[in-house]
Structure formats: C-alpha cells, structure tokens
Amino acid sequence: MNTQARIDWSALALPELFERLARADAEELVVRALAEDLGFAGVMTQLGDITSLSTLSPDARGRAQIASRGDGVIAGLRVAEIVARHAGLSLAVHVDDGARVVRGTRVATLEGPLIALLSHERTMLNFLTFLSGNATLTAQFVDAVRGTRAAICDTRKTVPGLRTLQKYATRCGGATLHRIGLFDAVLLKDNHLGAFADGAIGGRVRDAAMRARSLADVAFVECEVDSLAQLDQLLELDGGVLDMILLDNMEPGTLAEAVKRRDARAPGLLLEASGGVRLDTVRRIAASGVDRISVGAITHSSPALDLGIDLDSTSGGER
C-alpha cells in the first residue's frame, strides 16, 4: 500500500514540502543539468567550461548578485543552493521561495571562485527562471479568484522529469496541489468512462471507487463529467463513494447549475472546474461557486521570470 498517499502536500510549509517532495529529484536533476554544460561520459570528455578555464586565473574570486528583472514570485532557490554546493560557491539568499518581488529586487548573493561562478550561473538561472515563471503565473490565477471559494489547482501537465519541482513551484505561487501522479489518487476521466453506457455510469463508478480504495490508501476519488445528466447520476451515489467531481469544459452558467444541484443533494462533495481555463475567464468560473479550478497552463505554458546574475567584483585577475 502507498504510504505517501495520505500526506496533505498542500498543508506543508514550503521548506518541508521541498524536502519531502522535491529534494531527491532536485539533487538528481542538478547533476544531469551540470553534465549538459560541462560534458559527461558518453558524449565527450569531461572538460568543463573551456572559455573560463582559458581566460581566468584559477585563483580569481568573484561576487555576484542574482536580481529580478521583472515582477513575479520566486521559486527554486533551494535548487540554486544545490547548484552552489556542487560549484563550491556560497549562496546567501535575501528572499525566500514564495516571495513576491519587483524589478530590481536582490534575490541572492553568490561568492567564490570566479571560474566556478561563471560555469554554473546558467544552470542556476535555468532552474530559477523556469520555476519562478511557474510560480508567477500561478500567483496571477490565485489573485484573479481571490475572495471566491475557489482554490487554484495544478495538474499532471508537467515537463517530464520535472513533476515534483513544478508542483513545488505552483505551491510557491499559492496553488493547492492536485494528485502527484497516477499512484496516489483516483481520477476517472472520459476515456475511463467511454465504454460505459450512460445509464450505467453511477454503478460502474461506485465499483471502480471501491476497488481503488481496496488497492491503496488513496488521497481521494474523483470522477469527470461533461454534462449535467452525468452529474445527476453521480449525485445519487452514497456518501463516501466519491470525494470530488470534475466538471469538464462547462460554461459558467452550467457550472453554477451544477453547484446548485450539488448543494441540494450532496453538499459535502467537492466540485472542480477544468478545461480551457485562462486568466481572462477564471474569475467568472470561480464566481459559479465551484470549490476548485485546475489549470494546466501554470505548468505547461508559463513564461520564465527574468532573473539575472551580475558580477559585483573579482580578485585574482586574468590568466
């Protein structure tokens, strides 16, 4: 049985969330990312940063500032610390993951051997700008629904290999985490239900939910519907069969009607809206009264937050 399923990831403070969810993946990813830049077995001899090695004295030292060149939310400083450790650099952070910054905010200071600083800065920025971009777009969605009952949730639409880091980043932006993967929760989607006759959906969903709960201590069981008729069938199920119903690609008026029917017949059941959610539509969706809104864009379509590393000073000179 999966012992991780009952962890409420969204209830953890960010430092604990990183340690328990993303630390192991971050350690592995940093090694792979550095190998991409510095050379690795099977592709070429491990040579390192040829430009810096041929230009700078090995005794040269430097100090640099990581600063934001735009407004946004920071995520990935704990990954930057791993990069700094590999490089033999000291990293002093001036804000923390989850902090909102404006253009010009000093995020962290790097110090150490200049060759190491220059050969690791891009890897550090790649993680920081990408994850901060996820966090920034997430925060924009969270801000857009503020004052409603709706929580913004992430999805499994993540870059392969970066799932846990991207989920950590969305939490930095204020999201509620959805299932981590296929292993920790149940979401019966249209392709699962495609073979069911409409009249049989309720019974088949009940059977699937019971089997799932016998296989693992799942965090929740959720079922997707694309019509009010399907919703009505699921609202007839006994309490405890389903935890949530996902309302797929419904207009705000239809969502409001779904909420009305849920409130009358199964008030403890959570409703989640999904499908084509944009910043210019999310407020209207939230106003329908749904409990959750899942947004794929916060992980698959967020622009990077512009961050830069600027050298303060050096000592030791050129070669």
Question: Which amino acid is present at 100?
Answer: R
Catalytic residue status for 157: yes
CB atoms within 10 A of CB 18: 23
Q: Which residue among the candidates 23, 63, 69, 122 is catalytic per the annotation?
A: 122
Q: Are 201 and 190 in contact (CB under 8 A)?
A: no
For the record, the structure tokens of 136 come out as: 């920034």
Q: Which residue among the candidates 97, 184, 224, 272 is catalytic per the annotation?
A: 224
Q: Which residue among the candidates 6, 85, 149, 189 is catalytic per the annotation?
A: 189
Q: Which residue among the candidates 20, 23, 69, 157 is catalytic per the annotation?
A: 157
Catalytic residue status for 25: no
Cβ neighbours for 233, distance < 8 A, ≥ 6 positions apart: 198, 199, 201, 202
Helix, strand or coil, per DSSP, at residue 317: coil
Half-sphere exposure at residue 256, Cβ-oriented, CA atoms within 13 angstroms: 8
As a whole number of angstroms, the distance between CA 187 and CA 178 comes to 10
Q: Which residue among the candidates 248, 272, 291, 292 is catalytic per the annotation?
A: 248
Catalytic residue status for 122: yes
What does the chain come to in residues?
319
As a whole number of angstroms, the distance between CA 238 and CA 249 comes to 26
As a whole number of angstroms, the distance between CA 134 and CA 114 comes to 30
**Annotated active-site positions, please?**
122, 157, 189, 224, 248
